[in-house]
């Protein structure tokens, strides 16, 4: 290591096998209360449907379970341990009061079909969060049903399709910038649209002339991430909206990068027709190792009739309820009402911030990204010098001369005590290093990060082989992903 890092040091890491390897018959971690009704003869009740063999479920005791999963947990990096600068992922602090309120008895144990009169508190949460999100986005109607960002995209495009069909003008294509997330084209295909790529210009923004040329009556919508995945605000957003609207197309905004905008500018004010939010990004609900997320979709009033069923309404008597009688709805996109537990957390986050806190959060997120940009501009290639918002994208152009690529630098960053940034995305930047610090990092942590990145740049010049072999401090070294895909082992099996 070029400079000893102040961030990390080696410590003992415990080995731990698979839980199945600890199992032995007769060990247990459970006890049921005595049965207070007559016991039954399962064979008699179920006949051929009765199961006799539960396969290889583990049999272990309580202390073994605690140690097993605690040991596994220590092998993870997490936002609680330090900066997690994944671009477009918005890894921010997950406040613990959110977890506490989501576990309150009435909320955690509410059955989705319990009568509305016994659900008023839950309905109030849905309504209050909806109102806050509408104010934040500047939109006019919302559904909280989608379970994640990609699910929100799907819901949005279903509404786009319903809108055009209602006008007797079913359209065929969705325009998607070449910098977009992979979920955008995958979603368009799921909804039965053809995907047409839109090239970015030299500034890393939508090429407005190209958009003008490509836009026609076959195009249903443009899916635009703003700020885009380069962290650049689409400065000609008003022209983009006008071009789409002039030919009857809609402007869909992927709200993955909303953390750059909250309290400073509202998509509804700059011509967006519909958009999704990621509560697990902008609104602090924990990523949980890959989910759950939540992807509400906010729309302008003319799309309101197409919202998924049901929607929350205020009844004449002042109570809240669900309205299922929505003949023009696109239907349901999942069971029940969405990832309610995430709504509780997101609303608690909004309460903790208030208008001033939300604005300051956005300002700090943008300040942090620009501070990193300034700190690393001399050491890494910056392919697009356009001003950055909440994230900055470098390339590995300078380091590639030594044969070191973005993934190698990312792996070396682990040795310095950081989680890697997003590698090799967006696709329009060869060898991209996509860095989003979020507002949750102190100046000290950012300085450590900048120092680590500069140190790695020096190491690349002096000892590229060492960087190529990184990480050197983790319990496993680089894993053979090719072998994993070629001969997939997707589950444990007993020996013999």
Partner 1 sequence: MRYLPKSPADRRAMLNSIGVRSIDDLFAPIPAEYRLNRDLKVPRQMAEAEIVDWFRERSRETGADYAATFLGAGAYYHYRPVIIDALISRGEFLTAYTPYQAEVSQGTLQAIFEFQTMISELTGMEVANASMYDGSTAATEAVMMAARLSRRHSVVVARSVHPEYREVLSTYAAHQNMPLVTLPYSESGQLDLKDLERAITEQTACVLIQSPNFFGTIEDVAAVAELAHRKGALLVVAIAEAVSLGILEPPRPADIVALEAQSFGVPLGFGGPYCGVIATRFEYVRQMPGRLVGQTTDRKGKRGFVLTLATREQHIRREKATSNICTNQALMALMATIFMTVYGKAGLRELAKQNLAKAAYAAEQCGKYAKVLFPNAPRFHEFVVETSEDPRAINNRMLGHKIVGGLPLKKFYPELGHAALWCCTEMTTRTAIDTAAGFIAESERSVKSAPEADAEEVAR
317 binds partner 1 (CB under 8 A): no
- # residues near partner 1 by CB under 8 A: 203
What's the rounded Cα separation, in Å, for the pair 439 and 442? 8
Cβ within 8 Å of residue 491, ≥6 positions away: none
How many CB atoms neighbour CB 330 within 10 A? 24
Q: Of 163-202, which residues contact partner 1 (CB under 8 A)?
A: 181-183, 185-192, 195
* 59 contributes a contact to partner 1 by CB under 8 A: yes
- Tokens 């026609």 correspond to 216
Burial of 278 (0-12, 13-18, 19+ CB in 10 A): buried
Q: Which stretch binds partner 1 (CB under 8 A): 66-74, 213-221, 393-401, 452-460?
A: 66-74
Gyration radius of the chain over CA positions? 25
Contact call for residue 216 and partner 1 (CB under 8 A): no
- Three-class DSSP category at 392: strand
Contact residue for partner 1 among 290, 316, 327, 496 (CB under 8 A): 290
Q: What is the largest CA-CA distance in the chain?
A: 77
Smallest distance, partner 1 to C-beta of residue 244, A:
16
CB of 416 to partner 1, least distance (A): 12
Measured from the CB of residue 25, what is the shortest distance to partner 1 in angstroms?
Answer: 8
Q: Are 479 and 414 in contact (CB under 8 A)?
A: no
Does 439 help bind partner 1 (rule: CB under 8 A)?
yes
Q: Select from 414, 451, 454, 466 the one that contacts partner 1 (CB under 8 A).
A: 414
The tokens of 71 are what? 């040991």
Q: Establish if 50 lies at the interface with partner 1 (CB under 8 A).
A: yes
- List 11, 12, 39, 378, residue binding partner 1 (CB under 8 A): 39
| 387 interacts with partner 1 by CB under 8 A | yes
Between 19 and 400, name the residue whose CB sits nearer to partner 1.
Answer: 19
| Contact call for residues 378 and 424 (beta carbons, < 8 A) | no
130 φ/ψ angles, rounded to the nearest 5 degrees:
-55, -45
Among 130, 214, 300, 353, binds partner 1 (CB under 8 A): 353
Contacts 24+ apart (CB under 8 A), 67-70: 67/16, 68/16, 68/19, 68/22
Q: Report in angstroms how near the CB of residue 340 gets to partner 1 at its nearest.
A: 4
Residue found under tokens 């509404």: 159
Q: Interface with partner 1 includes 6 (CB under 8 A)? A: no
Among 1-9, 118-126, 297-305, 396-404, the segment contacting partner 1 (CB under 8 A): 118-126
237 versus 243: smaller Cβ distance to partner 1: 237
Q: How far apart are CA 400 and CA 416, in angstroms?
A: 21
Q: Tell which positions 92-111 bind partner 1, by CB under 8 A.
A: 93-95, 97, 99-111
51 is an interface residue for partner 1 by CB under 8 A:
yes
Tokens encoding 246: 């002039």
Binding string to partner 1 for residues 235 to 274, with x set by CB under 8 A, is what?
A: x-xx-----------------------xxxxx--xx----
Sheet holding 297-299, edge to edge: 141-143, 297-299, 274-276, 250-254, 219-225, 173-177, 194-198
Nearer to partner 1, 331 or 401 (CB): 331
Residue from 87, 156, 177, 293 touching partner 1 (CB under 8 A): that is 293
In terms of CB distance, is 150 or 211 closer to partner 1?
A: 150
From candidates 6, 443, 458, 462, binder to partner 1 by CB under 8 A: 443
Q: Enumerate residues 446-465 that contact partner 1 by CB under 8 A.
A: none
Candidate segments 149-157, 212-220, 245-253, 460-468, binder of partner 1 by CB under 8 A:
149-157
Q: Which is nearer to partner 1, 210 or 414 (CB)?
A: 414
Before 227, cis peptide (omega within 30)? yes
Interacting span for partner 1 (CB under 8 A) from 217-225, 326-334, 396-404, 428-436: 326-334
Q: Which residues pair with 198 in a beta bridge?
A: 177
- Is 403 a binding residue for partner 1 by CB under 8 A? The answer is no
Q: Which residues of 23-39 are buried (b: 16+ CB within 10 A; e: fewer)?
A: eeeeeeeeeeeeeeeee
Q: How far is the CB of 326 from partner 1 (least distance, A)?
A: 12
The Cα-based distances of 377 to 372, 398, 457 in angstroms read 8, 12, 12
CB 19 → partner 1: shortest distance, Å? 5
Helix (H, G, I), strand (E, B) or coil at 262: coil
């Amino acid at each position: 290591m070029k400079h000893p890092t102040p961030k990390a040091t080696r410590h003992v890491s415990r080995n731990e096998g698979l839980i199945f390897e600890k199992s032995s018959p007769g060990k247990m971690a459970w006890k049921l209360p005595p049965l207070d009704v007559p016991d039954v003869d399962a064979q008699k009740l179920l006949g051929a449907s009765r199961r006799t063999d539960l396969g290889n479920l583990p049999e272990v005791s309580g202390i073994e379970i605690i140690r097993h999963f605690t040991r596994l947990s220590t092998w993870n990096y997490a936002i609680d341990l330090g900066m997690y600068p994944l671009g477009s992922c918005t890894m921010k602090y997950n406040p613990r009061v959110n977890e506490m309120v989501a576990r309150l008895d009435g909320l955690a144990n509410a059955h989705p079909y319990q009568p509305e009169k016994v659900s008023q508190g839950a309905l109030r949460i849905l309504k209050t969060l909806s109102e806050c999100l509408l104010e934040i986005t500047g939109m006019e109607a919302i559904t909280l049903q989608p379970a994640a960002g990609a699910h929100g995209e799907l819901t949005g495009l279903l509404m786009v399709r319903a809108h055009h069909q209602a006008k007797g003008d079913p359209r065929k294509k969705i325009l998607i910038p070449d910098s977009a997330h992979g979920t955008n084209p995958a979603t368009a295909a799921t909804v039965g649209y053809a995907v047409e790529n839109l090239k970015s210009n030299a500034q890393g923004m939508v090429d407005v002339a190209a958009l003008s040329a490509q836009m026609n009556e076959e195009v249903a919508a443009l899916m635009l991430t703003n700020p885009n995945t380069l962290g650049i605000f689409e400065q000609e957003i008003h022209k983009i909206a006008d071009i789409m609207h002039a030919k009857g197309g809609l402007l869909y905004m992927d709200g993955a990068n909303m953390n750059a905008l909250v309290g400073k500018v509202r998509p509804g004010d700059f011509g967006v027709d519909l958009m999704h939010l990621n509560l697990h990004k902008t609104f602090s609900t924990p990523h949980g190792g890959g989910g759950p997320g939540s992807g509400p979709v906010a729309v302008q009033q003319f799309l309101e009739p197409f919202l998924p069923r049901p929607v929350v309404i205020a009844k004449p008597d002042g109570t809240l309820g669900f309205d299922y009688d929505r003949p023009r709805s696109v239907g349901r996109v999942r069971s029940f009402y969405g990832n309610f537990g995430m709504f509780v957390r997101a609303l608690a986050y909004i309460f903790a911030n208030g208008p001033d806190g939300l604005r300051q959060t956005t300002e700090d997120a943008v300040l942090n990204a620009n501070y990193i940009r300034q700190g690393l501009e001399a050491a890494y290639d910056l392919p697009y010098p356009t001003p950055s918002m909440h994230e900055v994208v470098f390339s590995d152009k300078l380091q590639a001369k030594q044969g070191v690529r973005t993934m190698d630098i990312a792996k070396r960053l682990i040795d310095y005590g950081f989680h890697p940034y997003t590698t090799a995305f967006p696709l329009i930047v060869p060898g991209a290093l996509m860095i989003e610090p979020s507002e949750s990092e102190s100046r000290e942590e950012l300085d450590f990060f900048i120092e680590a990145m500069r140190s790695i740049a020096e190491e690349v010049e002096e000892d590229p082989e060492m960087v190529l072999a990184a990480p050197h401090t983790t319990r496993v070294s680089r894993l053979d992903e090719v072998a994993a895909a070629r001969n997939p082992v997707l589950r444990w099996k007993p020996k013999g």
